Structure 1
Amino acid sequence: MTFFNHFWTRSTLTVALTVAIAACSSAPEKPQPAALPAVTGQLAVQKVWNHTVGAVTTPLLASVHGDQVAVASTLGQVVLINASTGQEVWRLKLDSLVQAGVGGDGQRFAVITQNNEVVAIEAGQVIWRHRLSAISHTPPLVAGGRVFVLTADRAVTALDGASGQKLWTQQRTGDPLVLQQAGLLIPFGDNLLAGWGGRLASLNPNTGAVRWETLVGSSRGTNEVERLVDLVAGVSRPGNTVCVRAFQSAVSCVDASRGNTLWTRPAQGHTGLDGDETLVFGAESDSKVVAWQRQSGQPAWTQEALRFRGLTAPLVLGRSVVLGDDKGSVHFLSRQDGQALQRLSTDGSAIVGKPVAAGQTLVVVTRTGGIFGFRPE
C-alpha cells in the first residue's frame, strides 16, 4: 500500500471533511510484488478457530485482554471472543456504523460511531453514549476507570468510565489535515501518551495537564498533504523506552520517563511498530521490513522479499515477527535475521490492523470480516 492509498481529513471543531488523496493525485500504479519467498518450515502454526464479524472498512483494531479479544465491524457488530477456546463471550449489534475502536480494559469496552458518539459497552450491553465535537479515527483508550478519546481536531478528552461524563479536554493546534487512520493514544505508567501531529506528548491522566512534549517528525514538502506527519498507532515499549512512527517521515525512540528523544531515523512507513529489548521492527510503505537497533537506531536487517504486498504493522510473537498482507496471507519472519519461517492463508481479503496475541493464540482480522485464530506449536 502506498501513500496515495491513504485518506486524509480536514478537521475543525464542528466539521470533518474527508477526501481521498487518490482522487486528486496522479500516483503511479502500484508495482507488482515479486514471487513469495520459500519458507523454511522451522515454525509450525495451526489454525484453531475462525469467526465472522462483518466488513471492516474503517480504522478498527482488535483489543486484547488476557485470553479475550474484542473485534468490531464497520456495520456495527462488536464481539468478544475467548481466544483460547474460540467461543464467543458476547456479541452486540449497534444501531450505528462504527468509525473507530475497539478499546477496552477487559470489563468495559468502547467504540466511536460515524455519528461521532463514544459508545461504552459492558457484558454485551450499551451502558452510555457521549457525543464528540469532532470525528475520531483512533480507538478509545479504556484505563483507570476512564475512557480517553483522541479526535481529529487534535483534542484528547477524558470521560468517566461509569457514566460517560466529560472530565477534561486538552487540545493542540496543528496542520488542518490529519490522517484517516488510528493515531497514537496509550497509557505509560501514570502517564497518558498522545500523538499531536508530529509531536509525542505526555499528559496527566487525572487533569489533562501536559508534562512534556517532544518532536518526532517535522512537516516537510510544499503542500498540506506532503506535510502530514501524524504519529500512528502501534508502538514498541519495553522498559522506559517508547519507539514510535511519524507518518512517512521518521521512526524515533523516546525516553518516556523524561521525554528525551534518544534517536530519530528517516523512514517512509505509514503503519506502527513493535519490538523487543534489542530490536524495533516496522514495515515501510513499499512493504520492505526493517529491524533497527533499539539503542542506536542503526539498521540491523532488512527483508525485501515481501515488497509491494501491503503489509500491516508487525507483531513480535515468540521468535517471530508476524505481519499480514493485502491478499490475506500472514507472514512469520525470524526476529534474528528476517528469514521467512512460515506463511498462512485466511480468506483472500486484506489483513486489517495489526495481528494481535491473546494468550497463546494469534488473532488476525480481514477486510471482509473474517476473524482467525492461529496457534504456534
Structure 2
Amino acid sequence: MRFSSKSRGVFTAGVLASALALSGCSLFSSKSAPKPMELGPNVPVLPVSQAWKASMGKVEGIVLEPRVNGDTVTVASDAGEVLALNARTGAVAWRVSLATPLSAGVGSDGRWSAVVSKSNELIAVEGGKQLWRKQLPIQVFTAPLVAGNRIFVLAADRSVYAYDAASGQRLWVQQRPGEALVLRQQGVLMAMGNTLVTGLGGRLVGFNPDNGSIRWEAPLASPRGTNDVERLVEIAGRTSRIGDNICARAFQTSVGCVDVERGGVVWSQTAAGNEGIDGDDNAIYGVESNGTVIAWKRADGAKVWSSNRLRYRNLTAPLVLGRSVVIGESNGDVHMLSREDAAPLNRLSTDKSGVATAPVAAADTLVVVTRDGGIYGFRPQ
C-alpha cells in the first residue's frame, strides 16, 4: 500500500532529561505589551456566515492539530474527548471519552485516530472505540500521524516511533541526539509520497517509513547563542507542500522551502515568528511574533507584501482558503485577508475564550476551534 496522508502554540519549553514542561507565556501578555492596532469596522467584502456550531471540552493544555479527511474533521479536548464531525453539517459522526488528560492530538486517516496522553500513552481509536494503548518513554507535543496503516510519533527528544495501527505493535524507533529545550507546540510530522517527513531541530528530515532509515536532511536553521534558550531551534507546526516543494518556519529564525527530491534547501529568509506557515502555488504566508503578516514568493523567497493590520495581536498560523488568508486570534476573532495584498475581506466571531489552533477547511467549510471547546463552521453566502 502506498504511504500517504493528508496531513500553535504559546512558547513553552520542555526539559528533555526529566520530560518536564516549563510554563511560558504569550509574547504580548504583560501589562507593558504594545497596544494592538485598531481594526475599525468590519466590512464583509467576502460574505461568510456561521453555518453550524458543535462543542466539546476545553482546549488549553493539549497541543491540538485538527485533522481533515474528506468531509470529516477530527478533534480532541484536554480531558481526553475525541470526536469526528461532518464539516458540511456539523453533525458528530462519533465521540469517545478516553478518561485521561491529553498532551497531543489528533492524528487520523479516516479509519484510525491517535492521540497522546499526559502520562505518555499513545492511544489508538477506531470508529469511536478505543483500540489500544502503548506507553511511550517521553512526552509528546506533536499530533501523531496516521498513514499507510501505521501510526507515527515524534517525541519531545526528537525520537521517531512507528506502530502498526491495527495491533499497536512497535515497528521501529529512530533516536537522535536531543537538545536541552524543545517547544511545546505542533511540530512537523507528515507523509510525502513514500517518505515520512519530520522536523528535527532546525532540519527537515526524510525517513523511510518501513524501517526508519534516513533518506535525506535539509537544514533550514542552525542553533545560535550561548545558552539553551538562545540556541533553541525547531521547525514549527503547519507547513505548505506543492509537489516536491515543502515550505516551513524555523521558530523565531527563518522561513524557507526545501526540494525533497534532492533534499536541498531552495531558499531561506530571516523571519521572527512562532507559528507555522501556509501557502499556494505562488506564495507562502506567515505571521511574525509581533503580529505582522508577510507573504513571500514561493519560488525564491522575495517578499511580496507585509501587513501591520494585525500588529501586536496574538495570532494562529494562517490557512490559505480560496482568495483569503485566514488567521485566528486569541480574542476569538477570525481574520480573512486577501492573498493578493492583505486587504481585509471579512472578520468573523467565535467566543471570547479565543481561537485555540490554526483553522482548517473541509467540505467548503472553514472550521475553527476555540479554547472553550467551541467548534464553528463558516461558509460563504
TM-score by structure 1 length?
A: 0.95
Aligned: 1:9 with 2:7:
no
Between the aligned partners of 1:323 and 1:298, the Cα distance in structure 2 is: 22
Correspondence for 1:172: 176
Q: CA distance change for structure 1 residues 31 and 109 in 2, over 3 Å: closer, same or farther?
A: same
Aligned: 1:199 with 2:206:
no
Letter in 1 for 2:202: G
Deviation at 1:39, TM superposition (A): 4.5
2:58–2:77 contact (8 Å) kept in structure 1: yes
Correspondence for 2:5: none
Following TM superposition, the consecutive aligned residue runs of length 4 or more in structure 1 with deviations greater than 6 angstroms are none
Q: Name the SS of the counterpart of 2:90 in structure 1.
A: coil
Correspondence for 1:102: 106
Correspondence for 1:150: 154
2:366–2:377 contact (8 Å) kept in structure 1: yes
1:4–1:21 contact (8 Å) kept in structure 2: no
Correspondence for 2:33: 30
Letter in 2 for 1:296: D
Letter in 1 for 2:183: L
Q: CA distance change for structure 1 residues 324 and 353 in 2, over 3 Å: closer, same or farther?
A: same
Correspondence for 2:194: 190
Between the aligned partners of 1:125 and 1:162, the Cα distance in structure 2 is: 13
1:161 aligns with one of 153, 158, 165: 165
Letter in 1 for 2:349: S
Deviation at 1:69, TM superposition (A): 0.4
Aligned: 1:340 with 2:341:
no
1:100–1:138 contact (8 Å) kept in structure 2: yes
Deviation at 1:28, TM superposition (A): 7.8
Q: CA distance change for structure 1 residues 291 and 39 in 2, over 3 Å: closer, same or farther?
A: farther
Letter in 1 for 2:84: L
Correspondence for 2:52: 49
1:38–1:340 contact (8 Å) kept in structure 2: no
Deviation at 1:22, TM superposition (A): 5.3
Letter in 2 for 1:74: D
Between the aligned partners of 1:218 and 1:210, the Cα distance in structure 2 is: 19
Between the aligned partners of 1:70 and 1:5, the Cα distance in structure 2 is: 22
Correspondence for 1:140: 144
The C-alpha deviation readout for 1:5-45, integer Å capped at 9, x for no partner, is 51100113xx301112459xx98832110111454422010
Correspondence for 2:335: 331
Deviation at 1:102, TM superposition (A): 0.5
Deviation at 1:232, TM superposition (A): 1.2
Between the aligned partners of 1:201 and 1:292, the Cα distance in structure 2 is: 23
The C-alpha deviation readout for 1:204-226, integer Å capped at 9, x for no partner, is 00010000111111111222112
Aligned: 1:373 with 2:357:
no
Correspondence for 1:315: 319
Correspondence for 2:3: none
Letter in 2 for 1:45: V
Deviation at 1:234, TM superposition (A): 0.4
Letter in 1 for 2:308: E
Between the aligned partners of 1:329 and 1:287, the Cα distance in structure 2 is: 14
Letter in 2 for 1:156: V
1:117 aligns with one of 121, 125, 136: 121
Correspondence for 2:368: 364
1:282–1:290 contact (8 Å) kept in structure 2: yes
Between the aligned partners of 1:102 and 1:21, the Cα distance in structure 2 is: 23
Correspondence for 1:283: 287
Aligned: 1:257 with 2:261:
yes
Report the number of matched residues. Answer: 371
Letter in 1 for 2:367: V
1:229 aligns with one of 224, 233, 242: 233
Between the aligned partners of 1:328 and 1:365, the Cα distance in structure 2 is: 10
Letter in 2 for 1:94: L
Between the aligned partners of 2:10 and 2:224, the Cα distance in structure 1 is: 20
1:87 aligns with one of 80, 91, 114: 91
Between the aligned partners of 2:68 and 2:21, the Cα distance in structure 1 is: 30
Deviation at 1:354, TM superposition (A): 1.1
Q: CA distance change for structure 1 residues 348 and 22 in 2, over 3 Å: closer, same or farther?
A: closer
Deviation at 1:86, TM superposition (A): 1.2
Aligned: 1:217 with 2:217:
no
2:9–2:185 contact (8 Å) kept in structure 1: no
2:10–2:185 contact (8 Å) kept in structure 1: no
Query: Which moved further from structure 2: 193-202 or 222-231?
Result: 222-231
The C-alpha deviation readout for 1:166-189, integer Å capped at 9, x for no partner, is 000112113211111111111011
1:102–1:111 contact (8 Å) kept in structure 2: yes
2:9–2:186 contact (8 Å) kept in structure 1: no
Deviation at 1:321, TM superposition (A): 0.5
**CA RMSD in angstroms, aligned pairs only:** 1.7
Identify unmatched segments of 5+ residues in structure 1. Answer: none
2:84–2:94 contact (8 Å) kept in structure 1: yes
Aligned: 1:242 with 2:240:
no
Letter in 2 for 1:9: G
